[in-house]
A and B are shown apart, each in its own frame.
Chain A
Amino acid sequence: MLKKVTHFRSVVILLALVLVLAACGQGGNNSGNKETNKPANEGAATNAAATQEPAKEEPKPPVELLNVSYDPTRELYVAYNEAFSKHWKAETGQQVTIKQSHGGSGKQGRAVIDGLKADVVTLALGYDIDAIVEPGLINADWQSKFEHNSSPYTSTIVFLVRKGNPKGIKDWNDLIKDKVEVITPNPKTSGGARWNYLAAWGYALKQNGNDEAKAQEFVAELFKHVPVLDSGARGSTTTFVERGIGDVLLAWENEAFLSINELGPDKFEIVYPSLSILAEPPVAVVDKIVDDRGTREVAEAYLKYLYSEEGQEIAAKNYYRPISETVAAKYTEQFKALELLTIDKDFGGWKEAQTKHFADGGVFDKIYTPGS
């Protein structure tokens, strides 16, 4: 009996030791971290104090924002958040920390509807923000709150192919050639995928003299060439780039640039089709939440600063097309000019496009049967 007890005790002591070790390790890391952070923080503080003396009088308590965004903006907002924090601190003396959440645009919108407390949403397309308007979280006139339809940057859809373009893909009609595998996310959940789909639709309409039946045929054929539908743009990129599936990825221009940059220009190249679509990823303040939390002022400033010279510059550096002409002029080499359809002129706005193509029972449901 005594022996039993000692055995048990030794195991319990061992367990406790492991826990204590883990805690120590963590504590050690934390303190190490604090030390390395300190000089940087002090530097920032003195900087801010130097630039804005009066701010000292009324130091507002630090504030936190949550930006719920879509998949490919991860790198963009890491850079932008840092720039905005600095700007805000210099302007008001207030410390602002921006937290990020990323995922497929439709999924992220859904999370906000379900109660994710986002101060601002920066999604892939207007429809996903309209969805948040419905339960009364965002005011219906959100799109007129900021310039340029509340889209501080634009992008377009391009093709990413493997180096040397072995399948000779140059335009949309090459995608439905024999044995070409196309990778795109699911238009039901991904914003980027809906832009992909509409660009293809627009191309087919144009080729066939606005014959809708022909366009539907083309898009149906296109989706027969899609072996995997991921739920978000980043998932599709990983499928194409990492898992090596497919011959061409229909991607956001910024996403295509990023994969070339991250994984080597020796592996992939970008092909610009003859015609694509002007993608306008919009931003909005989530009215109900900023009013509840009292963060409206800083949330609005956060989105507004996207339109500033610095904000536009950061967008361009992260391969989003800037809307500021002065900044755009600097990046003409990076962003190839091409014929672009627009959602409002060519598709009658998102509401119409959504109902016609992507809602339950819409065109996409008719043409896409999984596994066919």
Chain B
Amino acid sequence: MAGAVTVHTNEEASKRPKHITESAPVKWLLIGIAVLFLALIVLLPLASVFVEAFKKGVGVYIDSITEPDALSALKLTLIVALIAVPVNTIFGVAAAWAISKFRFRGKNILITLIDLPFAVSPVISGLIYVLLFGAQGFLGPWLDERGIQIIFAVPGIVLATVFVTVPFVARELIPLMQAQGVQEEEAAASLGAKGWQIFWKVTLPNIKWGLLYGVILCNARAMGEFGAVSVVSGHIRGETNTLPLHIEILYNEYQFSASFAVASLLVMLAVVTLIVKSIVEWKSGQQKPVEKTV
């Protein structure tokens, strides 16, 4: 996900003069390889999720996704996404703004820090919170005295999810805002616009597609995160299980149809996300053929 590809459906590529394009067989060979590879590696396994999910009939399918533990997992997943995504959106915009519009010392360190969650393994992302907030951790005893439960409860899951999804929005916006420069904001300021006015009327309209794109990717990861959440969850059924964890539990309990049914829910959430993403790309490509790096 980190290296998500941005497609630019500029007509230019297909309009290139004949003598500098590859011959037809090469073109079809390449397309064929790409399609075959995706079919084998991506489509086939995804399709098998749905086949398995409906193996024992629609009744079992509906039962497994409406069962209280599954619903509570769905609810928790949505709650976590609803907190993690806005938090990271606000942070991402603020960080991107700071990095692209101001000059200050340690800017590169800040960028590196934003990238850090991509670089560390999710298990570590979970363990750092256990070390920090666990009963034997630095802050554990202090929190315990006050009856605050962070690890093995919803706050821990939210924290771990926020941690792994930090880079998405910021990473999407920084190159975009750097490319746009500060001229428009300066122009607005010289015409007497105030800070917030500049943000709402100039900056936000310029970055909105990139922002939306980052939010969508961030959301996809927030709902799908397994490793980090698994470490801090405590796996209490109906309480601290998110959808990905619930799928694993069902699978381990020989309830294959049920586990694939819940998995298909997650796949559908992902498909909706991808459709929205494509629309965003298409719309933004349509109106602004500015080259965007990811």
Contacts and interface: CB of A to CB of B under 8 A. Distances in A.
| Max chain A Cβ within 10 angstroms of own Cβ: one of B135, B152, B234, B279 | B234
B14 interface: no
A115 B135 contact: yes
Interface in B57-96: 65-66, 68, 71, 74-75, 78
Contacts of A32: 66
A237 to B, nearest CB: 9
B287 A4 contact: yes
Contacts of A71: 252
Given A4-B287, A135-B135, A116 B276 contact: no
Contacts of A111: 152, 234
A101 B136 contact: no
A29 to B, nearest CB: 5
A75 B253 contact: yes
| Max chain A Cβ within 10 angstroms of own Cβ: one of B134, B135, B151, B279 | B135
B276 A115 contact: no
B151 A115 contact: yes
B116 interface: no
Nearest to B238: A99
Nearest to A29: B66
A223 B86 CA distance: 50
Interface string A26-42: 10011011000000000
Given A114-B130, A115-B152, A100 B253 contact: no
A111 B152 CA distance: 8
B100 interface: no
A11 B276 contact: yes
Nearest to B65: A29
The size bracket of the interface on A is 35 or more
Nearest to A108: B235
A304 interface: no
Given A14-B276, A111-B152, A262 B236 contact: no
A235 B248 CA distance: 11
Contacts of B287: 3-4, 7
B253 A11 contact: no
A221 B280 CA distance: 59
Nearest to B235: A101
B74 A263 contact: no
B51 interface: no
B196 interface: no
Contacts of A259: 254
Contacts, number: 87
B71 A117 contact: no
Interface in A235-259: 235, 238, 258-259
A22 B79 CA distance: 12
B141 to A, nearest CB: 10
A74 B253 contact: yes
Interface string A66-82: 10000100110000000
B279 A14 contact: yes
Interface residues of B, number: 40
B187 interface: no
Contact of A113 (B133, B135, B254, B286): B135
A102 interface: yes
Interface in B142-186: 144, 149, 151-152
Nearest to B140: A115
B292 interface: no
Contacts of B254: 258-259, 262-263
Contacts of B272: 18
Nearest to A67: B236
Nearest to A4: B287
B208 interface: yes
| Max chain A Cβ within 10 angstroms of own Cβ: one of B68, B254, B286 | B254
B212 interface: yes
A116 B152 contact: yes
B74 A11 contact: no
Contact of A114 (B68, B136, B208, B235): B136
Interface in B119-149: 130, 133-137, 140, 144, 149
A100 B280 contact: no
Contacts of A74: 252-253
Nearest to B253: A74
B252 A238 contact: yes
A276 to B, nearest CB: 25
B237 interface: yes
B239 interface: yes
A20 interface: no
A263 B234 CA distance: 28
Given A11-B276, A14-B279, A116-B234, A99 B239 contact: yes
B121 to A, nearest CB: 16
B107 interface: no
A359 interface: no
Interface in B168-214: 205, 208-209, 212
Interface string A49-75: 000000000000000001000010011
Nearest to A234: B252
A111 B251 CA distance: 22
A101 B246 CA distance: 11
A101 B151 contact: no
Contacts of B253: 74-75
B56 interface: no
A7 B287 CA distance: 10
A11 B151 contact: no
Contacts of B137: 114
Given A14-B279, A114-B136, A135-B136, A99 B237 contact: yes
Given A33-B68, A102-B249, 7 more contacts: A4-B287, A114-B130, A114-B151, A115-B135, A115-B152, A135-B135, A262-B254
Interface of B: 65-66, 68, 71, 74-75, 78, 130, 133-137, 140, 144, 149, 151-152, 205, 208-209, 212, 234-239, 249, 251-254, 272, 276, 279-280, 283, 286-287
6 contacts: A7-B286, A26-B74, A74-B252, A101-B234, A115-B144, A117-B152
